[in-house]
Structure 1
Amino acid sequence: MLFIENEYKKIQETTDKYKKQKYWKIAVGLNQVDDLKPSEELRKLAYENINNIKTYVEVEDELYKYYSKSEKINKSEYECDLVSLKIVELLDNSSFNLTVNALASIHKELFEDVISEQFCGKFRKFDIQKYEEILNGDSANYGNFRTIEEDLKDIVEELNTRKYEINNTNDIVKLAVDCVKKIWDVHPFVEGNTRTTTVFMLKFLDSLGIEDVSNDLFKDNTKYFRDCLVLANYSQLNRYNEFIKPYIKPLYRFFEKFLINDKLELIEIEPVHNNKYYNKIENPSKLMEYEGLNEDLDLDW
């Protein structure tokens, strides 16, 4: 009997130390978006993985052994360690489909054994808001939970059908910005939106053969990156009847630095003034005309 050699090959873990180092920097950096830092155990294991002493599977086994022996688990380190490893594995794996299911699958892979099973890889069933320091305590404008899946399908369809020149740097920066911003604006998950959306975007770019030029940008500027996403999302009519428009320029500069020129300077950003948190407004005299707001009010029939 003649056996035909199978031409398909299993995707193998890279042995490229430079790539692994880059993936680990991005992974650990992305977890800083929630102020999560890795354990010393992960630092040791990451070093061994980068230098091809241990595989991803062996690192995962060592992590579970480490935490199973711990008398008191540091939950922040536990989340950072496991999610960082999963991010590295996903970035190293070239398989990718630009679909809504792929986004949900990435979330599930990242947060399995970390967050509640009822939220893992599943779109949220309620509306959410989150205190943002860059908004002086206000929240970004997240998508309505009832339209999450439809909104994501529209985004994916637009990205799949968009015309762009792969060698046109402006096209590629806009593609990256639109991908991460539009999905992040929907905020489809209860937790882990920034990490999931960013990994999805990075895998999308990788599937197009697009490489970054700045290895340390996410590692050193994750909080800044998230603030850029917030500012690019936020719009509000403030207490002075001034409309605060989404500020997207810093997000564009971030990706220009990431994808085109590492020497570019990031744009300095600062908190916006909105109509809810009086103690953050720089000029208290502007509040004088609103002193009567504490009075009881009735409907103006």
Structure 2
Amino acid sequence: MGTEWDSVSYLNWEDLRRAIDYDLEQERNFSYAGLSADEIVAHIARFVSGLWRFMLLEKGIRVLQLFLRFYIYVPFGFDVSNNLFADHSWYFRNALVRANYKNAQKGIDYTPIYLERFFRILLLGDQ
């Protein structure tokens, strides 16, 4: 019997470099011009969710947090402290899992809603 992680969409190591290059290229070519705050949050959540597939669970989340803090500061000017990540690391991790987890037998499908909520708090100051 498998574990709950069996249905999280990870890539095999052979496709890793190609997939990362593809995701980063797509992001480089994406234009945020004219997007609403909600659309920006939704796009960043999808981008981060995709990157997480390339990382080992706990260590990868820490690396992703550091990357994300830099990534959203440079183009957007969001100066994000590590406090929200540190104080809510369990929620962030679980939100990443839910954005990538599917279990048809249990009626669970991928959902970015929890990750989007996290980014709304992080970037827009929502409660």
TM bracket, shorter-chain basis: 0.7 to 0.9
2:41–2:116 contact (8 Å) kept in structure 1 = yes
Alignment of 1:206 onto 2:73: yes
Partner of 1:259: 123
2:99–2:111 contact (8 Å) kept in structure 1 = yes
User: In the aligned structure 2, how far is the partner of 1:259 from the partner of 1:179?
Assistant: 15
Alignment of 1:244 onto 2:119: no
Offset, 1:173: 1.3
Structure 2: stretches of 5+ with no match in the other structure: none
Alignment of 1:158 onto 2:26: yes
Structure 1: stretches of 5+ with no match in the other structure: 1-130, 132-136, 265-301
Q: How many residues align?
A: 124
Offset, 1:244: 1.9
Q: How has the CA–CA distance of structure 1 residues 149 and 213 changed in structure 2, closer, same or farther, with 3 Å as cutoff?
A: closer
Larger proportion of helix:
2
Q: Deviations over 1:156-200 (max 9, x none)?
A: 00000001127732243134212321110232x586211112211
Offset, 1:204: 1.2
Q: How has the CA–CA distance of structure 1 residues 183 and 230 changed in structure 2, closer, same or farther, with 3 Å as cutoff?
A: same
TM-score, normalising length: structure 2? 0.82
Runs of 4+ in 1 over 4 A off after TM superposition: 212-215
Offset, 1:209: 3.6
Q: How has the CA–CA distance of structure 1 residues 232 and 190 changed in structure 2, closer, same or farther, with 3 Å as cutoff?
A: closer
Partner of 2:45: 177
Percent of pairs with identical residues: 27
User: In the aligned structure 2, how far is the partner of 1:198 from the partner of 1:191?
Assistant: 11
Partner of 1:231: 98
Q: Aligned-pair RMSD on alpha carbons?
A: 2.5
2:98–2:110 contact (8 Å) kept in structure 1 = yes
Q: 2:17 aligns with which of 149, 152, 156?
A: 149
Q: How has the CA–CA distance of structure 1 residues 221 and 190 changed in structure 2, closer, same or farther, with 3 Å as cutoff?
A: closer
TM-score, normalising length: structure 1? 0.37
Offset, 1:141: 2.5
2:69–2:80 contact (8 Å) kept in structure 1 = no
Mapping of 1:98-113 within 5 angstroms? Answer: none
